[in-house]
């Protein structure tokens, strides 16, 4: 039995190491890590749903909503504070998920996947046709301020990295606590057998609704951070291929731990970056082939590499 000091201490050390590494990394690597952390939040949101047996093929909906909420927050509402933009993205995604949740929590398996895909494509269709939002080109947004400080150049990029890493760390830690709670474990129970959960007196739809809103909020945060980090948003954020990519990264990561999505996301971004650098015309092929190989040879995802084998003899 590990003590609470280790359980909190080790992740915190990792977090400090990540922040320190952020200052030492070359610019391109820091940017990839930053994007991986932001997208990792979306993958984390998928993991939360997967634990309850639901796979969303439309998480791009909340990714896109979070990004557009942040973008419009800067350009329309003239909000420049990064944390406020993040909150805006989370709030918009959460609110939409709360409404859609009433419908979506009635669906399971492939129907849940398809209906969430339909909703993300509705958002995509709206964004593509709205010329006020730049239609397929999207629009740019300026560098925001951080807690009131207006950084410029490299300082702004460092600030952005610290912000994203902190949000990712906080989200992972909170979600870890949530998954270890009774309400969190309800997800696995629902995945195994819904009817028995109902017999035990818990509301399946209520529990799924909460998880769905939480997951949308996480994806919205990922979208808002991506928008702020890249300074550009376009409708492709909500396209089905984006959502499909998230599901792939979730499978690549495995659902073993809240750290897995960030690891998987980083590995995926690296694969993509190198594939794009070395064979710009066939990078999709590399990604697709990796996808097949991972699914065939690593069914438990990357995280299964870290899982210790159960010990036969326990020492007291």
**Interaction site with other proteins (CB under 8 A):** 55, 57, 103, 106-107, 109-111, 113-115, 117-119, 121-122, 124-126, 128-129, 193, 195, 240-241, 244, 247-248, 251, 281-285, 287-292, 295-296, 299
Looking at beta carbons only, is 130 or 140 nearer to other proteins?
Answer: 130
Closest distance of CB 50 from other proteins, Å? 9
Q: Is 76 in contact with 298 (CB distance < 8 Å)?
A: no
Looking at beta carbons only, is 147 or 296 nearer to other proteins?
Answer: 296
DSSP 256: S
Residues in the chain: 316
Looking at beta carbons only, is 29 or 121 nearer to other proteins?
Answer: 121
- CA-to-CA separations, 11 to 8, 107, 112, 151, 290, in angstroms, rounded: 6, 36, 34, 28, 29
Whole-number Å distance between alpha carbons of 290 and 292: 5
Closest distance of CB 240 from other proteins, Å? 5
Q: Is 201 in contact with 18 (CB distance < 8 Å)?
A: no
Closest distance of CB 107 from other proteins, Å? 6
Can you name the residues that pair with 146 across neighbouring β-strands?
A: 149
Q: Is 69 in contact with 88 (CB distance < 8 Å)?
A: yes
Whole-number Å distance between alpha carbons of 52 and 48: 7
Whole-number Å distance between alpha carbons of 136 and 130: 9
Closest distance of CB 120 from other proteins, Å? 9
Whole-number Å distance between alpha carbons of 220 and 70: 9
Looking at beta carbons only, is 158 or 205 nearer to other proteins?
Answer: 205
Looking at beta carbons only, is 7 or 122 nearer to other proteins?
Answer: 122
Looking at beta carbons only, is 122 or 170 nearer to other proteins?
Answer: 122
Closest distance of CB 159 from other proteins, Å? 36
Whole-number Å distance between alpha carbons of 65 and 82: 16
Closest distance of CB 72 from other proteins, Å? 19
Per-residue tokens: 157: 């990029």
Closest distance of CB 64 from other proteins, Å? 14
Looking at beta carbons only, is 110 or 170 nearer to other proteins?
Answer: 110
Can you name the residues that pair with 81 across neighbouring β-strands?
A: 145
- CA-to-CA separations, 10 to 13, 257, 305, in angstroms, rounded: 5, 14, 19
């Amino acid at each position: 039995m590990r003590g609470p000091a280790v359980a909190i201490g080790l992740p915190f050390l990792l977090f400090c190491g990540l922040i320190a590494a952020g200052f030492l990394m070359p610019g391109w690597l820091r940017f990839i890590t930053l994007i991986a952390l932001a997208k990792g939040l979306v993958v984390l949101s998928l993991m939360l749903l997967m634990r309850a047996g639901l796979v969303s093929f439309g998480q791009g909906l909340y990714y896109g909503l979070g990004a557009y909420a942040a973008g419009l927050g800067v350009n329309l509402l003239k909000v420049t504070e990064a944390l406020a933009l993040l909150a805006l993205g989370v709030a918009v995604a959460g609110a939409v998920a709360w409404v859609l949740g009433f419908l979506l929590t009635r669906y399971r398996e492939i129907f849940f996947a398809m209906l969430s895909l339909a909703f993300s494509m509705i958002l995509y269709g709206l964004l593509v046709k709205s010329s006020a939002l730049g239609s397929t080109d999207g629009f740019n947004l300026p560098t925001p301020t951080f807690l009131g400080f207006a950084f410029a150049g490299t300082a702004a990029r460092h600030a952005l990295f610290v912000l994203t890493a902190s949000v990712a760390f906080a989200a992972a830690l909170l979600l870890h606590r949530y998954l270890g709670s009774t309400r969190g474990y309800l997800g696995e129970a629902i995945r195994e057998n819904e009817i028995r959960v109902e017999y035990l007196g818990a509301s399946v739809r209520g529990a799924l609704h909460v998880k769905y809103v939480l997951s949308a909020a996480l994806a919205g945060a990922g979208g808002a951070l991506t928008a702020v980090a890249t300074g550009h948003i376009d409708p492709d954020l909500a396209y089905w291929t984006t959502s499909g990519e998230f599901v792939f990264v979730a499978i690549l990561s495995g659902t073993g731990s809240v750290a897995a999505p960030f690891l998987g996301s980083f590995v995926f971004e690296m694969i993509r970056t190198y594939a794009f650098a070395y064979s710009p015309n066939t990078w999709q092929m590399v990604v697709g082939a990796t996808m097949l190989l991972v699914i065939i040879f690593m069914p438990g995802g990357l995280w299964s590499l870290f899982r210790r084998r159960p010990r036969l003899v326990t020492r007291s």
